[in-house]
Amino acid sequence: MLRGFYTAASGMYAQQRKTDLLTNNMANVNTAGFKEDQAAIRAFPEMLLSRFETSTNGNKNAKQVGSINTGVYMQETIPRFVQGDQRQTDLLTDLALTDTAGDPVFFTVENGDETKYTRNGRFTIDAEGLLTTDGGWPVLDENGNRITLNSDQFTVDRNGNIEENGEQVARLGIVTTENPEALIKEGNGLFRTEDGIPLDIANAYSVSQGFIEGSTVDPSRTMTEMLTAYRAFEANQKILQAYDRSMEKTVNEVGRVNG
């Protein structure tokens, strides 16, 4: 019976974590370039139960009873790297990426001493003339250098070349990876590699100026998944309450010693 407590509790905890994930997805439904997270829920390894019997000659023999599952857990969260819809803003500092070869591509930004990656192309020009993200991190060119501009009156072609006053001043550092699931997702739409090794320069992509890539969150589907997770949480909660009543009856009635 105690195993039942642990199994039901693990199910509640897994569904609670999934609800938190879905809530975060819903909160970012309007965040530019946001890639929704998906939960990978797996079962703990099954255990094989055996019982020992003592034979007439005093030897103990093990006999298999069967297997028992010890519950579930949320193993990991995986961003869903699909192309988001593009919305026209007509702002020259807004840039949207299109994956043309299947593998996702990213802008490179400077975050402290590290290079990070993002799909959020809602950029701006700071007081020093640097092209930065909406979080204030400098956007990098293909050589890993900061991009300095004189004004927001610049143009960007589909290959990421930045021109100002008819002259090319930089080219956006667009990178790609064949294994995006290995990227570690951080806050504010940033990704990083686990080992710090830079991603490969991308060759197949398209940049759209005056557009923003929308979030990949589907509000209707996310709400449905939230309701499903909530009902699964309630089901495990009722099982836990049933075990609790059984334990109470065992302690107060079955275990009572009549004088």
What is residue 170's three-state secondary structure?
strand
- Please give the pLDDT value at position 3: 67
Please count the residues of the chain: 259
- Please give the pLDDT value at position 154: 95
- Do 100 and 183 fall within a single domain? yes
- Do 118 and 175 fall within a single domain? yes
pLDDT tens by residue, 54-84:
777 767 777 777 676 667 878 778 899 999 9
- Do 182 and 198 fall within a single domain? yes
Burial group, residue 124, by CB count within 10 angstroms (0-12, 13-18, 19+): middle
Q: Which amino acid is at 211?
A: F
Asked, for residue 168, whether it belongs to a domain, the answer is: yes
pLDDT tens by residue, 24-48:
999 999 999 999 998 887 777 676 7
Give residue 61's domain range: 2-79+226-253
Q: Does the global pTM surpass 0.75? A: yes
Beta bridge partners of 160: none
Number of domains in the chain: 2
d(CA 204, CA 219): 30
- Do 209 and 90 fall within a single domain? yes
- Do 209 and 93 fall within a single domain? yes
- Do 61 and 109 fall within a single domain? no
- Do 177 and 90 fall within a single domain? yes
d(CA 239, CA 213): 44
d(CA 17, CA 2): 23
- Do 161 and 44 fall within a single domain? no
**Parts of the chain with a pLDDT under 70:** 1-3, 45, 47, 49, 58, 66, 68-70, 251, 254-259
- Do 138 and 172 fall within a single domain? yes
- Please give the pLDDT value at position 191: 94
- Please give the pLDDT value at position 246: 80
Helix, strand, coil distribution of the chain in percent, nearest 5: 25, 35, 35
